[in-house]
Amino acid sequence: MRLKKLMPKKALLINAKLARFIKNSPLLKKSQQKAVKHSTALLAIAHKIMPTKVENYFVLHQVKRLSQPFMDEGEIDFLDNKIVEVEIRDLSAKWYFTKIGRQLAMLDKTKALAVNPEPDVVFSASVDALVLMASQKVDPDTLFFSRKLKITGDTELGLEIKNLFDQFDLELLDKPFRNALDTWSDELIAAQAH
């Protein structure tokens, strides 16, 4: 807001036009398509070099933002003493979630298996399938019946989580992450259409 007061109106107009030009640029579109095409390879590298604590913090932060309204209403109480494993097959990544008290928590494998020797439910998918599901542009049932999403273990618990997932308000995500998710899922859908 303060910047707008300092900038002349003409500069603001030029800035807005430049932003529209960049957003609609064929070069940007081509870059987005390339990034999506190579996303799994890029994420695999990031997953290998990024410290686990940093990766887990980022993932848990986004999941907590989405689930907080449901947590406040007690609608996630079904996760008490339950372990949910999320596996991203093409990254060889596994995350373990549970609810401890009034908080959603992410556990490392050792702590998760100390709670339960086996996860109660496992969601397993590729990066692309999880992006489509997380963006809510493809229904989890569609991914499940096309075998892009596998749910094993306690299927009733899995259905509760899936139904909760469908209700998440994506506006609660951090804006840069939400924008990336939106662009990524749009590119995946466009690529599948061809």
Residue 19 is assigned to a structural domain of this protein: no
Q: What is the DSSP letter of 141?
A: H
Residue 69 is assigned to a structural domain of this protein: yes
Residue 97 is assigned to a structural domain of this protein: yes
Residue 171 is assigned to a structural domain of this protein: yes
Q: How many domains does the chain have?
A: 1
Residue 79 is assigned to a structural domain of this protein: yes
d(CA 40, CA 89): 10
Tens of pLDDT along the chain (194 residues) come to 554 555 555 554 455 554 555 556 666 667 666 766 777 788 888 888 889 889 999 999 999 999 999 999 999 999 998 999 999 999 989 999 999 888 899 998 888 888 888 999 999 999 999 999 999 999 889 999 999 999 999 999 999 998 888 889 999 988 888 888 898 899 889 888 87
d(CA 28, CA 13): 21
Residue 5 is assigned to a structural domain of this protein: no
Structure tokens belonging to residue 144: 């499940």
Q: Quick one: pLDDT at residue 41?
A: 82
Structure tokens belonging to residue 159: 């259905």
CATH number where 104 lies: 3.30.1050.10
Domain holding 163, by residue range, is: 51-193
DSSP run (H or E) holding 23: helix 9-23
pTM: 0.79
Task: Give the DSSP per-residue string, 89-129.
Answer: GGGTEEEEEEEETTEEEEE-HHHHHHH-SS-SEEEEE-HHH
Q: Quick one: pLDDT at residue 12?
A: 46
